[in-house]
Amino acid sequence: MHRVRFRDPEGEVRTGEWDAEESRITANAGPTGRVAFPDDTFSPGEVDVLAPTEPSKIVCVGLNYEDHAEEQGSEIPERPMLFLKGPNAVASHNQTVELLPGKERIDYEAELGVVIGTECRNVAEDDAMDVVGGYTCVNDISNRDDQSIEQNWVRGKAFDGAAPMGPLLATPDEVPEDASIELRVNGERRQHSSRDQFIFSIPELVAEITAYMTLEPGDVISTGTPAGVGPLSDGDRVAVEIEGVGTLSHSVTIP
């Protein structure tokens, strides 16, 4: 099942199921305590598709593909490299992301996003998939100018709009273990790999992260990017496509 958050033509934020074959969204009933909506059906073009979750935090993983570590000239890490992005970094499908002005290089990074479904702490690897609510597409937009001169990467990774995600939330059974991941800029393929190339698996990541912090429902683990990262330019159109999930599209502008 593919779930979606969207703003309907009346301006209400709702959730529903996306039928890609029929190009149709079937909405759930309205939120409790507000006007009770019946189930409604919309075409994707008549609604604003929102990020599929409202995370309290995005835990990102660096160097989780061997080919990306190689292109960065870095050794394979012995444990996952972790950093954080806040809710301010979330951007939605079809949104135009305003990049930071005056920077020499801001890069795209296609990633599989793991959305947490259950509050959890100290999760064993064998139990990790029990707390996963689904998968989505993420673009880990990175400001290399500041990332290269700071250790905590706040300026480099956590600026507004630095984590476009969506458009859908796919249940884990819909996404193959070797699901392909691809990023295109203006229709040209720049990254292409599959999730079976991870250095650290999703259960390993969940176990490692929850050994240090509580993950809440809606939080996202962004699992790292393959080789092929490169710079964005004003007006670029980016598409992140993950097999079984769908395609996240957004534009960028530089003021």
Give, in order, the Cα–Cα distances in Å from 139 to each of 79, 134, 253.
Answer: 22, 17, 15
Q: Are residues 134 and 202 in the same domain?
A: yes
Q: Are residues 215 and 99 in the same domain?
A: yes
Q: Are residues 154 and 171 in the same domain?
A: yes
Q: Are residues 200 and 121 in the same domain?
A: yes
Claim: this prediction has a pTM higher than 0.85: yes
Q: Are residues 81 and 15 in the same domain?
A: no
Q: Are residues 153 and 108 in the same domain?
A: yes
Domain that holds residue 20: 2-50
Q: Are residues 95 and 181 in the same domain?
A: yes
List per-residue pLDDT tens for the chain, 255 residues long.
799 999 999 899 999 999 887 789 999 865 544 455 556 899 888 999 999 999 999 999 999 998 888 888 888 899 999 999 999 999 999 999 999 999 999 999 999 999 999 999 999 999 999 999 999 999 999 999 999 999 899 999 999 999 999 999 999 999 999 999 999 999 999 999 999 999 999 999 999 999 999 999 999 999 999 999 999 999 999 999 999 999 999 999 999
Q: Are residues 44 and 75 in the same domain?
A: no
Please report, for the domain that includes residue 180, its CATH number: 3.90.850.10
Total domain count for the chain? 2
Asked if 18 and 4 count as a contact pair (C-beta separation under 8 A), the reply is yes
Cα 26 to Cα 44: distance, rounded to the nearest angstrom: 10
Cα 165 to Cα 137: distance, rounded to the nearest angstrom: 5
Q: What does the CA dihedral 217, 85, 212, 5 come to, rounded to 10 degrees?
A: 10
